[in-house]
Amino acid sequence: MTTTAMTTAASGIPVRPATRANWESPAEYNYEHFRTKHLLLDARRTVETSGVLPGDPAPDFTLPRSAGGGNLRLSDLRGKPVVLHFGSFT
Amino acid sequence: MHALWGDRVHFVDVMVRQAHPGPAVPPYATIEQKLADAEAYRREAGITWPVLADDLDGTVHQTYGGLTDPAYLIDADGRVAYYNMWAYSPVLHQAIEALLAQGGRGVVLGEGIDRTPHLLPAMADGWPGIRRGLSQSYVDMETSLPGSATALWLTHQLRPLLAPVALRATPLPPAVQAGILLGVSLLVGAQIARLQHARATGDASPGPRRPGHRVDRWQAG
């Protein structure tokens, strides 16, 4: 895990302490087995409000689109509201 | 949701790690695998908006809190207007409505956050994900919280029945909400009345009547 990832978001915006405390290393993040600790971690993240608080700037990022659709940069969508949803295939 | 708001709001999905890995769906080793799953997910769910793949370390996912299924509503200036920690469409729907009503800017619905673990929609939709991981995902989930994977399967079977509540895009109509509230109130009220009646008549036990109870008392008097 890089120090940058711990202290700043992809955009350089500081990550909130509640999020930093629950940050997982690449090996922890890509676990091989779903365990009770992952349920508990989610509960902790909910209670500690891990993430970006309302009113704060949404950390910017550039990520690839599926099916070779090129990159999308979040800040390019300014001017209209955005629903940003995270999900897993499994 | 997209059908309702797609012309006034951008929608973006971000594919995160394998939450329930298994032999057929191991943890991602390359970004290509993640992109391929993002595309499979897009096709399967019939999504017409961008599905992105986060990097392998989950940098963006973790920056945004790292929860399993969160949704953010970001305002027109790029600030967080609403944080729905466990995504539930009716909640987002209300947030979007409120945001558009105030010109697309600012925090909405009070402090702009919903921490309620909305498990019903996740359960009604979660089974296909577990099924992809074959037995390992199932066993892992059962081990982590006994009964949870079976509950997921059961909810999947009941999906048509639960869909009107679990998978709806908009809040329940006020009349239905009032109906449910009235029904629950009547049940609770009836129970309280029954207990009070039992106390007034000296029958302390509201449970099944014990045979002979009243006869004994009559004999004693």
* CB-based contact B17:B27 (threshold 8 Å): yes
Strands B113-114 and A82-87, bridge-based pairing: unpaired
Dihedral, CA of residue A53, residue A59, residue A64 and residue A69, to nearest 10: 90
Q: What is the pLDDT along chain B (221 residues), one digit of tens a residue?
A: 899 999 999 999 999 999 888 888 889 999 999 999 999 999 998 999 999 999 999 999 999 999 999 999 999 999 999 999 999 999 999 999 999 999 999 999 999 999 998 887 777 677 778 778 777 888 888 888 887 888 888 878 777 777 777 767 777 777 777 787 788 788 888 888 888 888 887 655 544 555 444 444 444 44
Interface of A with B in 31-90 (CB under 8 A): 31-36, 38-39, 42, 45-47, 49-61, 63-67, 69, 72, 74-75, 77-90
The answer, for B126 touching chain A at a CB cutoff of 8 Å, is: no
* CB-based contact A44:A29 (threshold 8 Å): no
* CB-based contact B207:B129 (threshold 8 Å): no
Size of interface A-B (CB pairs under 8 A): 263
Q: Percent of chain B scored above 90 by pLDDT?
A: 47
The span from the CA of B56 to the CA of B220, in Å, is: 80
* CB-based contact B61:B19 (threshold 8 Å): no
Query: A44-71 burial, b for 16+ CB within 10 Å, e for fewer?
Result: ebbeebbbbebeeebbbbebbbbeeeee
B-chain residues within 8 Å CB-CB of A26? 56-58
Residue B2's CB is within 10 A of a number of other CB atoms, namely 15
Domain residue ranges in chain A: 3-77
The answer, for B151 touching chain A at a CB cutoff of 8 Å, is: no
CB contact under 8 A, B145 and A86: no
A-chain residues within 8 Å CB-CB of B55? 63
β-sheet with B80-84: strand ranges across? B51-53, B10-15, A82-87, B71-74, B80-84, B113-114
Residue from the list A1, A26, A81 with its beta carbon closest to the beta carbon of B74: A81
CA of B80: which chain A residue's CA is closest?
Answer: A54
ipTM: 0.90
pLDDT per residue as tens digits for the range B174-206: 777 778 778 878 888 888 888 888 888 765 554
pTM > 0.90:
no
Dihedral, CA of residue B175, residue B177, residue B180 and residue B186, to nearest 10: -80
